[in-house]
Amino acid sequence: MKIFRILGPMLLALPAFAASSGASEPFSLLGISAGKGGASLSVPMQIVILLTLMTLLPAAVMSITPFLRIVVVLHFLRQALGTQSTPSNQVLLGLALFLALIVMQPVVMDMYHQGWEPMENGQLTAAQAFDAGTKPLQGFLVKYAREKDIKLFLELSHAPAPRTPSDLDLKILIPAYILSELKTGFQIGAVLFLPFLVIDLVVASVTLSIGMVQLPPVMISAPFKILLFVLVDGWNLVVGSLMKSFYS
């Protein structure tokens, strides 16, 4: 995958800087030369920046990708089924991660081709590569961020209104996208709850009418909810609907 082509050279270059301390040729890390004549950043500082970016990577994956909406919906689905910790958190997070990678693969490839490749070939500086590489991400965030949420953060940051959506900064788009995805995830989760709520109400009414108070109604309705979910092939429907929501 392209992401490994991006991270691979970075990680492989880390042990090389120790051996190159006595070499006459300039050392390069993250596309920034660290030679005597034109070093813009020292090698230790570049390593600190790289490690900092790697620590922020999980938060970025969870916040600015479809992972957020998917994991919220899957959590609501598990709560609606009443299966407690089945599937486990690891399974839900793994499923959400791979589904998010499927959606984000074209965006990541565009970022790689527009930002990293030109910088690697010496056609763009690091700042220019960052601006060019974030354009596909901005387009993705603008597509799913609600106008109301964007307006809210424009007011909070006292930023001027942009002339076009492409002029929006990431500091505005990212929190607006997170709020929009949370609302969408909660809306889908509420819709998922409705059929299972009906089953709970029916089972509770029947058990109370016949005087069966020894067992909680939730325990009696759980097998019926699981059976209904299996009969309609629920995982296929839920995952298919989630993925189609990002391609509509």
What integer pLDDT is reported at residue 207 of this predicted model? 79
What integer pLDDT is reported at residue 180 of this predicted model? 92
SS3 of residue 155 by DSSP: helix
The distance in angstroms from the start CA to the end CA of the chain is 25
Q: Where is pLDDT greater, at 145 or 22? A: 145
Q: Which two tokens stand for residue 144?
A: 């799913």
SS3 of residue 209 by DSSP: helix
Q: What percent of the chain has pLDDT over 90?
A: 9
**Residue located via tokens 């690091």:** 126
What's at 203, amino acid-wise?
V
At 133-171, the pLDDT tens digits run 888 888 888 888 888 888 888 888 887 878 887 778 888
Q: What's the sign of the alpha-carbon dihedral 90, 96, 102, 108?
A: negative
Give the burial class of 114: count Cβ atoms within 10 A of its Cβ; 0-12 exposed, 13-18 middle, 19 or more buried.
middle
Q: Which two tokens stand for residue 221?
A: 């309705």
* Strand (E) or helix (H) holding 102: helix 89-111
Express the helix, strand and coil content of the chain in percent, nearest 5 each.
75, 0, 25
Q: Is the peptide bond before 87 cis (omega within 30 degrees of 0)?
A: yes
Contacts of 151 (CB under 8 A, 6+ apart): none
Give the burial class of 97: count Cβ atoms within 10 A of its Cβ; 0-12 exposed, 13-18 middle, 19 or more buried.
middle
Q: State how beta strands 28-29 and 32-33 pair.
A: antiparallel
Q: Give which of 125, 134, 127, 175 is closest to 151, Cα–Cα.
A: 175
At 25-55, the pLDDT tens digits run 444 444 444 444 444 567 788 788 888 878 8
At 175-222, the pLDDT tens digits run 899 999 999 999 998 898 888 888 888 888 887 777 766 767 777 778
- Which range, 5-14, 96-105, 211-220, has the best average confidence (pLDDT)? 96-105
Q: Is the pLDDT of residue 18 over 80?
A: no
> What does the pLDDT average to over 63-67?
87
Q: How far apart, in whole angstroms, are the C-alpha atoms of residue 210 and residue 216?
A: 13
Q: Which two tokens stand for residue 65?
A: 């990708």
Kindly report whether the global pTM for this prediction surpasses the value 0.85.
no
Contact call for residues 14 and 28 (beta carbons, < 8 A): no
Q: How far apart, in whole angstroms, are the C-alpha atoms of residue 175 and residue 163?
A: 20
> What does the pLDDT average to over 91-119?
87
Mean pLDDT rounded to a whole number for the chain: 78
